[in-house]
C-alpha cells in the first residue's frame, strides 16, 4: 500500500505529483482498477491525501485526509455516464509552486493542484480531457439525431393500411428492428473505452 515510506520515496506533498507508469502498482488506486475487464491506467496524480487515477474507462478518485490515515473514500466516474465540461488549466506564476487542473465530471467539480515541474505532463492530460469531452458531445448529438430519424420512420410505416394479420406481423417486425437498431446505435455512440484518446495525447 501507499504509506508514508512510499510517499517519501516518491517525493509527495500536499501538492500532487504525476506518478510514472512503473510506479502504478505502488498506489492504492491500482487495487480498484478493473484490470480483469481490460481497464488500464493512463495518468495518475498523487498527493499525500488524494489519488486521481485516469483510466481508459473512468476517473478513480481515492480521497483521504492524510497519508497516515487508512480511511479512504472511493469515487468512480465512468466517462460514458458522466459529462465532462468546464475544463481549465491554470499555469503557475513566478512564485507559484503548482499548476491547477479544473473540470466538472458529472455532478462533481474537481480542482487538482499539481507541482509545476509536471506542467508538460498535465498539458497532455488537459488535451486528452478536451478531446474526450468533444467526442462525448458529438456522439450525444448524433444519438439524438438517430433516435429522431427512427421515430420519423416508425411513424411513416404506421400510416400504411393493410389487413389486420399484416398489421400484427408488421408490428412484430418493426418492434424487433427498432430494438436491434437502438442497440447498435448505443454501441456506436455510447463509447465506454477511451483508450484511443489517451494513447494519442498522453506521452508518459
Chain segment 149-178, per-residue pLDDT in tens? 666 555 655 555 555 557 666 666 666 666
Domain that holds residue 169: 134-189
More confident residue, 146 or 72: 72
User: At 93, is the pLDDT very low, low, confident or very high (cuts 50, 70, 90)?
Assistant: confident
Beta bridge partners of 112: 101
Helix, coil or strand: residue 85:
strand
Of the CA atoms within 13 Å of residue 99, those in its CB half-sphere come to 18
Q: Tens digits of per-residue pLDDT, 101-150?
A: 999 999 999 999 999 999 999 999 999 999 999 999 988 887 776 666 66
| Residue 22: inside a domain | no
Domain assignment of residue 183, yes or no: yes
- pLDDT reading at 193 higher than 90: yes
pTM of the complete model? 0.76
User: Is residue 194 included in any domain, yes or no?
Assistant: no
143 in a domain, yes or no? yes
Residue 77 pLDDT level (bands cut at 50, 70, 90): very high
The alpha carbon dihedral of 110, 45, 33, 184 has a sign of: positive
Judged by DSSP in three states, 114 sits in: strand
The whole-angstrom separation of Cα 88 and Cα 102 is: 5
What is the domain count for the chain?
Answer: 1
Amino acid at each position: 500500500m501507499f504509506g508514508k515510506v512510499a510517499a517519501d520515496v516518491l517525493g509527495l506533498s500536499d501538492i500532487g505529483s504525476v506518478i510514472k507508469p512503473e510506479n502504478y502498482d505502488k498506489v492504492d488506486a491500482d487495487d480498484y482498477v478493473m484490470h480483469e475487464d481490460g481497464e488500464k491506467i493512463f495518468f495518475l496524480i498523487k498527493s499525500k491525501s488524494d489519488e486521481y487515477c485516469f483510466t481508459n474507462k473512468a476517473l478513480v478518485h481515492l480521497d483521504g485526509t492524510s497519508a497516515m490515515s487508512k480511511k479512504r473514500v472511493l469515487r468512480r466516474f465512468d466517462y460514458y455516464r458522466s459529462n465532462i465540461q468546464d475544463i481549465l488549466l491554470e499555469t503557475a506564476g513566478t512564485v507559484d509552486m503548482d499548476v491547477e487542473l479544473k473540470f466538472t465530471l458529472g455532478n462533481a467539480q474537481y480542482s487538482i493542484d499539481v507541482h509545476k515541474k509536471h506542467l508538460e505532463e498535465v498539458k497532455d492530460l488537459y488535451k486528452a480531457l478536451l478531446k474526450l469531452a468533444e467526442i462525448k458531445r458529438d456522439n450525444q448529438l448524433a444519438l439524438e439525431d438517430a433516435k429522431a430519424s427512427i421515430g420519423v420512420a416508425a411513424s411513416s410505416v404506421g400510416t400504411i393500411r393493410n389487413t389486420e394479420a399484416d398489421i400484427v406481423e408488421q408490428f412484430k417486425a418493426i418492434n424487433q428492428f427498432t430494438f436491434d437498431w437502438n442497440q447498435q446505435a448505443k454501441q456506436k455512440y455510447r463509447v465506454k473505452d477511451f483508450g484511443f484518446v489517451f494513447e494519442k495525447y498522453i506521452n508518459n
